[in-house]
A and B are shown apart, each in its own frame.
Chain A
């Protein structure tokens, strides 16, 4: 084979244009994620001619749905959620290669029906197909699905060949360290780690991928990316929405599990990890794991606590009055679930010794925003800081992930005039204005990556366990406290006072990210 083991007829084509013949099987096919994200992502890949010429889509679910009806549902979801118009010809071809198989997740019968359907497709085209299983079911049935795929031989299909089956798993990857280990053990029993793609859609976002480029392709940032120049790092993942109709599920999860353990920890590890030796998936994932392992155990329950939890009370969001968490539908009166969590982390390594990393995530906050803010140390006050005429700010680099993906840098400048007065100004780079907004959705990139076998943007088993190792002691502690220590914050605010106090100890303040 030529270099990179690619087929000669793929030369001159980027790796993303060489997906092998594939059948994607979506478990949880009648669910919200399938309609909103997965089907539109697959269709948009087809529109860009990025799907292999032999491509099939099978929906799998408990509800019996005739093929035609499933195709209709898929078409409706495209019309509603696709980022681009539906092209009849493209959709027509995809539609004719789409079908539905019903079965119970804990019953082998459905899996054998699925196996027959895949083999029928292979027979139809006279070629082997790679099977990509996308598990988008409630977490309670993950293990059933994986076990049955293993038992009926689908997990090992074409193993040791380039067409080996792959499995994509949506979060949550467990609900604590113990369950994450058990889930990994079940998956690893049937699939090799190289076949497993744990998806966190944040990693498919352009700015998150750009983080590595910003850090390692610009010589001006990396020399400053350490304890000598960085004062603190703040990572915010906030939403202005409440729990809505997901109250029942959310109350069993909470902000720490739902957002901090996965999205926020991923952002942290990409921000703080050491440079990988290369951009191959394992090198990057090795560095992320090393970083997570370097996080110091958290102080819990004392006056010097490193964690804060809270739940939203009544307030105004977008000018409208919204109810408190405990009045939302599906929330029990004695709920002790947090809708907001903030952490102060210390990283015990040469680069970050003494630099606090602040993480926060919550619902019903002032704005929907995800960002990483690197606050640099303020310059020595010899020249400008000894007089109140000078308003010196710390230089801050903000990597904004949503909305309006981009990067900005705050620096001090002189206000024009005869007197010397300073003011912080912001330099902005926005993806939309520079590159246009019609960039692929995160799910498009991630599904295509899984099809071509690139797992750089997916989470390895030991990463999930390293992350749960940090989070589980907090969960255990909170569980032991019940509602004791649960703060409240007004809906539409930036969080509770306790969370502000977490930063005051170090003379820091939470940012209030504006539009």
Chain B
């Protein structure tokens, strides 16, 4: 079976030659009447993807694709850290270089990015920090994406290294819902599962913000969220957000919630991906059902003004947009 390092595109070369090779690569002279690629090399940030040992080659290919598409909008110096068992005790690090210029609508609409992949021996991580520092674009912010890396290793071996990064992202659908709570310093970490559901939160938020906060929480007995197995982790992030919104509604309207979490259950059988229900002790009701694959959702119920049913647009963000949301915007 191919190794993770081998499936990541790029030219393999000794780590000592990566920087000089990259510099030469951009030195190319323009063809008459065109512009040299160097003019379009305008990294705005560094992005480190740190793969854990459990990463599969298929996952690595998908992650590479996401990074590449992300870099079309946000030209970056991308560094992929890839645990690679070393066959030679003298060669604990191996390098790979990939670059790409993405051409948009016009000649001037071109962006270039670079991907440096570092294969490192999992038993010799102490060299990693120095090697990565040599490869980073100086003075630009560095973001960090961890994938299948145990929290315990982040807390110990990579602590200093990661502390230099501006924002860190992980995916609770991959790393587990308990990942965040296992981190010693979770403050700068953002969950891609939460970011991915931005359109769903926005749809729910836009509709429910049309109701008075007191109407939403008065006589509310319970709130439950059923979600498909596929989106169970995202469901956890969504339920947390909904509970916080309800708590705030209660706080501003002088009510008390009779529950301390929005229950999340895995939906049985064929149904939507998310089914959120508010149960009231009077005859009111509120239900939000969303099927991600169709990109639509239904919000129905009966509130003060009577019954209603809206068909709404609701999907999830693409992987590259999810990454951008988590890195730049997600609060």
Contacts and interface: CB of A to CB of B under 8 A. Distances in A.
A311 to B, nearest CB: 32
Contacts of A428: 39
A52 B312 CA distance: 10
Nearest to B44: A434
A334 B202 CA distance: 59
A21 interface: yes
Interface string A397-424: 0000000100000000000000000000
B305 A13 contact: no
Contacts of B199: 49
Given A9-B249, A54-B310, A436 B72 contact: yes
A7 B295 contact: no
- Which of A126, A433, A434 has the most chain B CB within a 10 Å cutoff? A433
B244 A432 contact: no
Contact of A9 (B108, B110, B205): B205
Contacts of A220: none
A90 interface: yes
Contacts of B249: 8-9
Contacts of A90: 313
B245 interface: yes
Interface stretch (B87-95, B129-137, B207-215, B227-235): B207-215
B24 interface: no
B281 interface: no
A11 B244 contact: yes
A54 B208 CA distance: 12
Nearest to A93: B313
A432 B245 CA distance: 38
Contacts of A89: 295, 313
Nearest to A431: B42
B40 interface: yes
B305 A12 contact: no
A410 B209 CA distance: 50
Contacts of B202: 13, 17, 49
B210 A127 contact: yes
B40 A433 contact: yes
Contacts of B313: 49, 53, 89-90, 93
B178 interface: no
Contacts of A436: 72-75, 104, 111
A9 B209 contact: yes
A8 B42 CA distance: 40
Given A10-B209, A54-B310, A126-B306, A437 B72 contact: no
Contacts of B105: 437
Contacts of B308: 125-126
Interface string B308-331: 101011000000000000000111
Given A13-B205, A126-B305, A437-B104, A8 B75 contact: no
A434 B75 contact: yes
A2 interface: yes
Nearest to A89: B295
B201 interface: yes
A314 to B, nearest CB: 30
A52 B248 CA distance: 22
A213 interface: no
Interface in A72-91: 89-90
Given A2-B248, A14-B329, A125-B310, A434 B42 contact: yes
B268 interface: no
B123 interface: no
B252 A8 contact: yes
Given A9-B245, A53-B312, A126-B305, A433 B39 contact: yes
Contacts of A350: none
B203 interface: yes
A1 B203 CA distance: 20
27 contacts: A2-B252, A7-B208, A7-B209, A8-B245, A8-B246, A9-B209, A10-B205, A10-B209, A11-B205, A17-B198, A17-B202, A18-B205, A18-B206, A19-B206, A49-B203, A89-B295, A90-B313, A125-B310, A430-B108, A432-B108, A433-B40, A433-B111, A435-B44, A435-B73, A436-B72, A436-B104, A438-B104
Interface of A: 1-2, 7-14, 17-21, 49, 52-54, 89-90, 93, 125-127, 404, 428-430, 432-438
Interface of B: 39-42, 44, 72-75, 104-106, 108-112, 198-199, 201-210, 213, 216, 241, 244-249, 251-252, 295, 299, 305-306, 308, 310, 312-313, 329-331
